[in-house]
Amino acid sequence: MPVIELSYSRLQKLIGKVSKKQISDSLPFLGLDIESEDKDLVRIEYSPNRPDYSTDFGIALGLQGLLGIKTGLLKLTVKKSKNYSITVKPSVSKIRPFVTGIIAKNGKIDDKTIKQFMTMQEDLHFGI
């Protein structure tokens, strides 16, 4: 099973006003197993069937719903653009028959987020 290392303080910023204990006590109710804890860090094992739990954003969203902070479906605005395209080389199309992508603008991504996205991609690669 894949494991993700998260910061309690970062989760608290994403979730809202919750204590470290509330987070720790609630994680098992999302089907997440705590492997280890060390001050601000927690290592969590998650099911590969839940790729949304491979980042702190997904876990924070799950905890917000569980704790009643934010409930319901997340509403996203998606705009189609004709200015971009994805080209798949014919030599790869049998290996990866489906491809998807997004273009996200005007956001800020820090090093931790980039690392999580890379880890998520690797976990998906090995799990699928």
List the CATH number of the domain containing 56: 3.30.56.10
Asked if the model's pLDDT at residue 34 lies above 90, the reply is yes
Q: Output the pLDDT for position 88.
A: 86
Q: For residue 31, give the 3-state DSSP assignment.
A: coil
- pLDDT bracket for residue 126 (50, 70, 90): confident
Structural domain count of the chain = 1
Task: Give the residue among 24, 101, 14, 107 at the shortest CA–CA distance from 33.
Answer: 24
Q: Output the pLDDT for position 127.
A: 67
72-92 pLDDT per residue, tens = 888 888 888 788 888 888 999
Q: What percent of the chain has pLDDT over 90?
A: 48
Q: Give the best-scoring range by mean pLDDT among 62-66, 70-74, 103-107, 117-121.
A: 62-66
Q: Where are the alpha helices (DSSP H) in the chain?
A: 8-15, 20-26, 56-66, 111-127
Check: pTM over 0.85? Answer yes or no: no
Q: Output the pLDDT for position 128.
A: 60
Asked if the model's pLDDT at residue 125 lies above 80, the reply is no
- Is 14:62 a contact under the CB 8 Å cutoff? no
Range of the domain at 100: 3-127
Distance CA 41, CA 124 (A): 23
